[in-house]
């Protein structure tokens, strides 16, 4: 039968016995931020750049503008009075001319992510993983070495991964609106060409939304792992996922990584045209007249990019490392208005915010009017056209929730300086930084008060040391809503007790011979770094202040199991070939083969020995061995050999002998010394 009335609403909130946050709060211990503009995406001064009100937005090139005009865009024009018209874009003044553009970013040079690995990721994954590494460092979570030992006892660090005691109890949430789109668009232009005339076999990895699993693989995190796309509400909603995982004891910490880059060379034509056609994008080329959050003159958004990451964990976990939290999560909410693809349901937004704040009051014994003067509201405001835009919905929600106390809440926003970064948590990161330091960004370029919004307490930027609470509102296409409410965590002294952190690491490693370093934006722990380690200890010192006392109590950490000794391989026969009438000498042949292996594996040349078993000792799987052999065949011009069986050539000596054989030499087998 037909349902003719709305269903009766069930209970709004549920609690479980697993929600033990009264005794063990859910806290933020690490944050990171990547911004457009400037010299580098991940500049150490990014947070203060926003606090000072420095713009990250610039005018795009004429080539960028022309590419939009070439799309034959017909724009939806929205009037302040609610009128709507359609108009063809015919000149630069009809299309977006400003953007937050990505500056220098090198995953390998800045973060130690191998170029071959980064090439299998799209730009969102590269940016998100870089942000995640910085957030782990900020949380005082050092990565530990995964080593390989050569025949002579030389130790080589192959990768840096999460401490073993953390790996299975850490989760990852990846937030992005357009993950994989950049490489899909690039390949569409190039017909899938990998740069060498062949279809790129990394294609699926490059276009799939896999930033969560690729970051997990990179740092060895084996807990719950997912992606989230609530359009531009994604990053804030990710805190809801993290909260649920902690409440239900699925893990002890969650790393949230977020990134988008819609203003890059591959996506600009498409995403820029999309926002222009929808009528949401501004068209002026003057930043001060265009980036206008909460201003009466607001008339359209500016596209941006960015990256941000967060570490959310139980306080008992950070206490063990000697790390003080920045803030405590009091609650989150994910909702949908079931309303419209590009518009907010103003009434439902207000209802959702009011119910959320009511729940926070009841859960924590707070009074909204008492906490309002010490609360900062980090808005979603995108300065889209005034009627039905984000500002109107957010302010209505605040006024219906806080009443007269609304004007005592500090209103903050970052999109006026960055443009709209899509699914990136720039405002979330700025909120946590603001609670930690008492410093928040101003509202950009505000000159004209909108009487429909009233006399809001808009941030002037700089010192707001009295802030104790933060509320974040995010919205996204599809009537998506994300909310979070956090409380500043009070502490005295250094946020990271380096002596206690060092003791925690030493206990975990089972040796006092451990040194913490910052290596390419990662916090890493070298163990027995002076003992036959290839390259020795590298990076900048993560020093322990000389006057700081040791932790008052011993740190007890579950010991990692002792690794079982690997069996010593039987000596492999070395193969020596007689001089062959080839263009390259034997010595040249050996060096070329080693160079090929180094190029394909990343091993340093002095770690590669000719009699090592490629799979058993060097860990080179058969697929990579086949790639190596194909490269060798091409470099030496060897003919196709129908009788070649890869498993018959397990060492480089075998391969070198094969080369000489195919070039006319006669191989002679000798025992390895």
Residue range 8-46, pLDDT digits in tens:
444 444 444 467 888 999 999 999 999 999 999 999 999
Look at residue 445 in the predicted model and tell me its pLDDT: 98
pLDDT tens digit sequence for 372-384: 999 999 999 999 8
DSSP 9-69: P--S----TT--TTTS-EEEEEEEEE-SSSSBTT-TTHHHHHHTT----EEPPHHHHHHHH
Look at residue 26 in the predicted model and tell me its pLDDT: 98
Which is the CATH superfamily of the domain at 26-488? Thiolase/Chalcone synthase (3.40.47.10)
- Supply the mean pLDDT for the chain: 88
User: pLDDT category, 571, cuts 50, 70, 90?
Assistant: very low
Assign 653 to helix, strand or coil.
helix
SS3 annotation, 164-208? HHHHCCEEEEEECCCCCHHHHHHHHHHCCECCCCCECCCHHHHHC
Look at residue 55 in the predicted model and tell me its pLDDT: 98
Look at residue 335 in the predicted model and tell me its pLDDT: 97
Domain boundaries, the chain: 26-488, 574-670
Look at residue 5 in the predicted model and tell me its pLDDT: 52
**Residue 128: pLDDT over 90:** yes
Beta strands at 410-412 and 375-378: parallel, antiparallel or unpaired:
parallel
What are the φ and ψ backbone dihedral angles of 151, each rounded to 5 degrees? -60, -35
pLDDT tens digit sequence for 375-425: 999 999 999 877 668 999 999 999 999 999 999 999 999 999 999 999 999
pLDDT tens digit sequence for 77-118: 776 666 677 889 999 999 999 999 999 999 999 999 999 999
**Residue 151: pLDDT over 80:** no
Rounded Cα distance between 423 and 306, Å, is 9
pLDDT tens digit sequence for 479-509: 999 999 999 999 999 999 999 999 999 999 9
**Residue 134: pLDDT over 60:** yes
Rounded Cα distance between 392 and 344, Å, is 10
Rounded Cα distance between 28 and 325, Å, is 6
Look at residue 576 in the predicted model and tell me its pLDDT: 45
Look at residue 609 in the predicted model and tell me its pLDDT: 77
Which pair of tokens denotes residue 85?
Answer: 């018209």
Rounded Cα distance between 484 and 471, Å, is 6
DSSP 228-248: E-BTBTHHHHHHHHHHHHHHT
Look at residue 538 in the predicted model and tell me its pLDDT: 96
User: Which residues does 74 contact at the CB level (< 8 Å), separation at least 6?
Assistant: 86, 87, 88, 89, 277
* Lowest mean pLDDT across 162-171, 347-356, 498-507, 631-640: 631-640
pLDDT tens digit sequence for 258-292: 999 999 999 999 999 999 999 899 999 999 999 99
DSSP 68-121: HHTT--EEEEE-TTS-EEEEE--SGGGS--EE----B--HHHHH---HHHHTTS
Of the candidates 81, 82, 90, 77, which has an alpha carbon nearest to the alpha carbon of residue 277?
Answer: 77
**Residue 561: pLDDT over 80:** no
pLDDT tens digit sequence for 457-478: 999 999 999 999 999 999 999 9
Mean pLDDT is highest, among 364-373, 561-570, 572-581, for 364-373
**Residue 573: pLDDT over 70:** no
Q: Which residue has the higher pLDDT, 143 or 583?
A: 143
Look at residue 82 in the predicted model and tell me its pLDDT: 65
Look at residue 322 in the predicted model and tell me its pLDDT: 97
Look at residue 633 in the predicted model and tell me its pLDDT: 82
Say what percent of the chain tops pLDDT 90.
70
Rounded Cα distance between 438 and 53, Å, is 15
User: pLDDT category, 597, cuts 50, 70, 90?
Assistant: confident
Q: Which residue has the higher pLDDT, 657 or 432?
A: 432
Q: How far apart are the first and last CA of the chain?
A: 86
User: pLDDT category, 569, cuts 50, 70, 90?
Assistant: very low
574-670 folds as: 1.10.1200
Rounded Cα distance between 598 and 587, Å, is 17
**Residue 126: pLDDT over 50:** yes
Look at residue 567 in the predicted model and tell me its pLDDT: 46
pLDDT tens digit sequence for 233-258: 999 999 999 999 999 999 999 999 99
* Lowest mean pLDDT across 136-140, 498-502, 662-666: 662-666
Q: How far is CA 297 from CA 284, 288, 386, 409, in A?
A: 12, 11, 8, 23
**Residue 578: pLDDT over 50:** no
Return the beta strands (E) in 561-615 as ranges.
574-577
pLDDT tens digit sequence for 358-367: 999 999 999 9
What are the φ and ψ backbone dihedral angles of 282, each rounded to 5 degrees? -75, 160
């Amino acid at each position: 039968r037909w349902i003719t009335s709305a269903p009766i609403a069930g209970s709004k909130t549920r609690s479980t016995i697993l929600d033990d946050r009264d005794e063990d709060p859910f806290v933020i211990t690490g944050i990171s931020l990547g911004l457009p503009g400037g010299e580098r995406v991940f500049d150490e001064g990014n947070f203060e750049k926003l606090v000072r009100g420095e713009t990250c937005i610039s005018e795009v090139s004429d080539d960028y503008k022309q590419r939009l005009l070439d799309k034959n865009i017909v724009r939806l024009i929205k009037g302040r009075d609610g009128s709507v018209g359609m108009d063809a874009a015919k000149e630069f003044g009809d299309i977006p001319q400003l953007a937050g553009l990505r500056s220098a970013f090198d995953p390998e040079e800045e973060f130690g992510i191998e170029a071959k690995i980064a090439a299998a990721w799209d730009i969102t994954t590269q940016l998100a993983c870089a942000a995640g590494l910085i957030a782990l460092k900020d949380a005082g979570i050092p990565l530990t070495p995964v080593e390989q030992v050569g025949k002579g006892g030389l130790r080589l660090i192959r990768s840096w991964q999460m401490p073993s005691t953390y790996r299975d109890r850490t989760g990852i949430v990846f937030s992005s609106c357009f993950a994989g789109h950049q490489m899909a668009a690039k390949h569409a232009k190039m017909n899938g060409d990998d740069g060498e005339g062949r279809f790129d076999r990394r294609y699926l990895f490059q276009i799939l939304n896999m930033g969560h699993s690729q970051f997990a693989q990179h740092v060895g995190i084996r807990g719950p792992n997912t992606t989230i796309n609530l359009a531009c509400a994604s990053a804030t909603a990710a805190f809801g996922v993290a909260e649920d995982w902690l409440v239900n004891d699925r893990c002890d910490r969650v790393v949230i990584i977020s990134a988008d880059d819609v203003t890059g060379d591959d996506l600009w034509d498409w995403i820029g045209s999309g926002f222009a056609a929808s009528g949401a994008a501004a068209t002026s080329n003057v930043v001060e007249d265009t980036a206008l959050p909460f201003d009466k003159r607001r008339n359209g958004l500016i596209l941006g990019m960015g990256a941000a990451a967060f570490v959310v964990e139980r306080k008992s976990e950070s206490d063990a490392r000697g790390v003080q939290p920045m803030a405590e999560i009091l609650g989150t909410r994910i909702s949908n208005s079931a309303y419209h693809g590009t518009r907010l349901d103003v009434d439902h937004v207000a209802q959702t915010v009011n119910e959320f704040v009511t729940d926070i009051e009841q859960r924590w014994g707070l009074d909204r009017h008492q906490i309002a003067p010490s609360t900062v509201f980090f808005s979603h405001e995108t300065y889209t056209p005034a009627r039905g835009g984000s500002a109107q919905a957010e302010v209505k929600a605040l006024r219906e929730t806080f009443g007269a106390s609304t004007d005592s809440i500090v209103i903050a926003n970052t999109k006026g300086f960055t443009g709209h970064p899509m699914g990136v948590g720039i405002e979330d990161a700025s909120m946590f930084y603001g609670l930690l330091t008492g410093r928040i960004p101003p509202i950009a370029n505000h000159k004209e008060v909108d009487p429909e919004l009233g006399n809001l307490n808009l941030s002037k930027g700089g010192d707001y040391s009295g802030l104790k609470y933060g509320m974040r509102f995010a919205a996204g296409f599809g009537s998506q809503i994300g909310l979070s409410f956090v409380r500043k965590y009070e502490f005295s002294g250094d946020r990271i007790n380096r002596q206690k952190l060092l003791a925690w690491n030493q206990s975990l490693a089972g040796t006092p011979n451990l040194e913490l370093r910052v290596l390419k934006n990662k916090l890493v722990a070298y163990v027995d770094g002076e003992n036959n380690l290839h390259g020795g200890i590298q990076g900048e010192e993560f020093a322990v202040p000389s006057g700081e006392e040791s932790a008052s109590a011993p740190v007890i950490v579950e010991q990692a199991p002792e690794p079982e000794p690997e069996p010593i391989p039987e000596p492999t026969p070395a193969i020596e070939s007689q001089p062959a009438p080839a263009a390259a000498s034997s010595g040249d042949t050996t060096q070329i083969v080693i160079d090929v292996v180094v190029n394909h594996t990343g091993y340093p040349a002095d770690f590669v020995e000719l009699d090592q078993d490629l799979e058993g000792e060097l860990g080179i799987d058969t697929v990579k061995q086949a790639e190596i052999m194909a490269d060798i065949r091409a470099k030496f011009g060897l003919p196709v050999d129908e009788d070649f069986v890869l498993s018959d050539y397990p060492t480089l000596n075998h391969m070198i002998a094969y080369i000489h054989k195919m070039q006319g030499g006669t191989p002679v087998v000798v025992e390895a010394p």
